[in-house]
Structure 1
């Protein structure tokens, strides 16, 4: 009997806050439904300062979300060559295993697979194709020589692209995503609490308006408590949104994004700048020989 009494006491103590939470949610839901039905109930307006700040905050939030999404796409390896790369990896692996059944062959094939994955950029794909074709044509041929030079430079450009992508991921995407998951997430949750507090306040106002005389004082106290809670959560939410809007970190991360791109394009321009006159010289020489032979 004592155990049963203790059990019922525990259930009662745990049920009370749960029942209070459910009752509060139902009150808010009822108020929300009443407003949506347009029954003429009073709706407390949010402060103008809050609405203005919320608009600025939402613009910043959306901008960061979009930039992170596009930056991830920009730094992601291309997918067009995945099937071809996988097939090549599979052929290499099976040929090595069939030719030599030992751990060394498997390890070598695995290493080649990892190297291919680590150099998966458009520039690397162009480099691989150019070098393979150059070898099949022959380096003694003008086109073969030009493709060899081109492939060699594109491979270096691909390495610089990978360096850029790593920098953007580490200095822009990761910290910005962390900010979205922390400060912005807190502000988002607080915005929801503002709406909940507003619904609770309006429900209390409606109850006070319809209260019987013997319930008037209690209903008035509930309105005052709801107003205090509404004001408090408004202030807290504005502080959280202001921290997002005014944070200098967004500019710091954006600056790192620009620096990474600038470093890549500078090095790529330097490499291609040295290559361009060499390819042009080969082309001019070949054209002169072609014109001479076809007179």
Structure 2
């Protein structure tokens, strides 16, 4: 009997708050349905300060979500899981092979493993260019140009990965933390405001339709709902203001800009050194090409003239 008595007491204790929660939720749902169906249900207006702040907050929240989604591409496995040592081994193997220094099977094994490693697009271009340079040959202008290009692209790829890792640490991770902490708290507070308003309006409607003997009790419910409504509005405004005015957004944006700036600066410097070399090879090859064509054309004309002269003779 004692065990059964304790059991029933526990059930009663746990059931009461659950039942109250269900009852409150039903009341809010009923009020929302009444408003949605377009009846003449009374609807308490939110303070203008709250509405204005909520609009500012929502703009910041949406911007944060969109920018985080877009910048997560920098944190993809290709950017984060790349094995730089393996890539450097592969690059060294390729360049040595092109130079005629063949490695044995054990030296080539790390390079084979590195092919399984995710790489930046620049590393893929570098590998393809160096492979092509080896097949074409460094004695050929195109082969020499591809070797120079592949060598620089490997360095540009290393800078790209460095940029991606900086963006991951300086923007993606702290921005995700903001969404999961401050913004999440503000979102929950906004839901509490909506729930408090529905409860208040439901209590107002109940007071309006209450019998005289229930009027005092209904008035008390309205007053308590009003106090709670004011409290949750203040809490929500504090949390939304904290999100809107936080310097963390600007700090993350600064990290994003600086990471991109450093990458483009280093990449531009590398490519600026490469461009004149490729252009010089191109100009030289073009001159040789036109010279050879003129030589062939002249030889053809001479042969044709000699043939004509022989025929005339």
Q: State the TM-score, normalized to the length of structure 2.
A: 0.82
Deviation readout 1:223-259 (Å, 9 max, x if unpaired): 0000000000000000000000000110011001110
Whether contact under 8 Å (2:57, 2:244) holds in the other structure is yes
Question: Is residue 294 of structure 2 the alignment partner of residue 291 of structure 1?
Answer: no
Say if 2:236 is the partner of 1:237. Answer: yes
SS at match of 1:294: helix
Matches of 2:75 and 2:21 in 1, distance apart? 46
Say if 1:175 and 1:253, in contact at 8 Å, map to a contact too: yes
Q: CA deviation at 1:75?
A: 4.6
Whole-angstrom distance in 2 between the partners of 1:242 and 1:6 = 48
Give the equivalent residue in structure 2 for 1:282. Answer: 281
Mapping for residues 1-295 of structure 1, pairs under 5 Å: 1-76=1-76, 112-113=112-113, 116-118=116-118, 120-295=119-294
CA shift in 2, pair 1:67/1:49, >3 Å? same
Q: Is the 8 A contact 2:74 2:165 kept in 1?
A: no
8 Å contact 2:122–2:156 — kept in the other structure? yes
**SS of equivalent to 1:39:** coil
Once residues 78 and 144 of structure 1 are traced to their aligned partners in structure 2, the CA distance between those partners, rounded to angstroms, is: 28
Please report the RMSD computed on the Cα atoms of aligned residues, expressed in angstroms.
Answer: 1.8
Post-superposition offset of 1:112: 4.7
Mapped contact 1:78–1:122 kept (Cα < 8 A)? no
Mapped to 2, the partners of 1:148 and 1:168 lie a distance apart of: 30
Q: State the 1:110 CA deviation.
A: 7.6
Please give the alpha-carbon distance, in whole angstroms, between the structure 1 residues aligned to 2:59 and 2:14. 42
User: Matched residues in 2 for 1:211 and 1:113: separation?
Assistant: 79
Which runs of 5 or more structure 2 residues have no equivalent in the other structure?
Answer: 80-104, 295-313
Pairwise CA distance, 1:117: 2.1
- Higher radius of gyration, 1 or 2: 2
Query: Runs (4+) of structure 1 moved beyond 4 Å?
Result: 108-112
Question: In structure 2, what is the Cα distance between the partners aligned to 1:110 and 1:180?
Answer: 41
The more displaced of 3-12 and 246-255 is 3-12
Q: Does the C-alpha gap of structure 1 residues 113 and 190 become closer, same or farther in structure 2, counting only changes over 3 Å? A: farther
2:74–2:167 Cα contact (<8 Å) kept: no
SS in 1 for 2:139: coil
The offset of 1:109, in angstroms, is: 5.7
Whole-Å separation in 2 of the counterparts to 1:21 and 1:175? 36
CA distance in 2, matches of 1:242, 1:136: 63
Q: For structure 1, which segment, 35-44 or 66-75, has the greater mean C-alpha deviation from structure 2 after superposition?
A: 66-75
Aligned partners of 1:77 and 1:121 also within 8 Å: no
- Structure with more relative contact order (C-alpha pairs < 8 Å, separation 6 or more): 1
Q: Secondary structure at the match of 2:181?
A: helix
Deviation at 1:39, TM superposition (A): 1.4
8 Å CA contact 1:127–1:150 kept in 2: the answer is yes
CA contact (8 A) 1:176 1:250 kept: yes
Task: Determine the C-alpha separation between the residues in 2 that align with 1:128 and 1:274.
Answer: 20
